[in-house]
Chains A and B, each alone.
Chain A
Amino acid sequence: MIPVAWSLMLSAALLCVGVFGLLVQRSALRVLVSVELVLNAANINFVAFANANGKADGIVFALFSIALAAAEAAVGLAILLHFYRHGRSVDVNKSTMLRW
């Protein structure tokens, strides 16, 4: 069995990659992918602790989290599509429509 610490390290690395993408990327689609990376890092934690505890509750939580990530991606892509129709661009630097 893989030790929990290794899973946590993998999760931390994935989280950092996601945070880096969130801070650097300018395309809204790539920002959305970075958010998914962060969510998947949390899922790895859920599954790792579920394996360590010997209970399935963590895996069920991960399933819920995956469903929530799908919902978030659907809404994000819809907003992205709307934004592209308005501005003909998906550059987040240009998304000043909702700024106070």
Chain B
Amino acid sequence: MSLPYPSMGLPSIGLRTLRRRRGIQVWLAAIVAIVLFAVLALAIRATPAWIEQAGTPNDVESITDALFGPQVIPFEVLGVLLTAVMIGALVTARPLTVHGSEETSLVHPNLSLPAPAGDLPAQEIPGSPLMAAAIEEVHG
């Protein structure tokens, strides 16, 4: 049995070869992770003991003092960033059309599945009038 190997655009290879490559990949990843942990552990062991200072960082008051004192500008910037991210995520995840419309032709041929039986008309997802006008323009 042969399967397409879409990650590299190579011609079909055997399923056994694919499984062997997967096994090699797992072992290589395990070796990389273990070596990384060993290097980090050796570095931690080689570092002189940290001189711990007395303090009460777990106190909520000290956290709020830092958050609304010297760190208030990054705190505000973070709020703006989260708002932008929320809007961006909503725009990115928003569906334009459903299956059967022209937009699905953008799907890479290696990735597309057969369309469902029957020619479904393009359906508009409820959204802004601007988006509805754009979809209307695409579909005539």
Contact = CB atoms under 8 A, between A and B. Distances in A.
Interface of A: 1, 3-5, 8-9, 12-13, 15-17, 19-20, 23-24, 50-60, 63-64, 67-68, 70-71, 74-75, 77-79, 81-82, 85-89, 93-94, 96-97
Nearest to A26: B22
Would you call the interface of chain B mostly helix, strand, loop, or mixed?
A: helix
A56 B41 contact: no
A63 B66 CA distance: 12
Interface of B: 6-7, 9, 25-26, 28-30, 32-34, 36-37, 40-41, 44-45, 47, 49-50, 52-59, 62-63, 65-67, 71, 74-75, 78, 81-82, 85-86, 88-90, 92-93, 95, 106-108, 110-113
Would you call the interface of chain A mostly helix, strand, loop, or mixed?
A: helix
A56 B93 contact: no
B66 to A, nearest CB: 5
Given A86-B107, A88-B111, A93-B7, A19 B36 contact: yes
B114 to A, nearest CB: 10
B57 A55 contact: yes
A30 B93 CA distance: 19
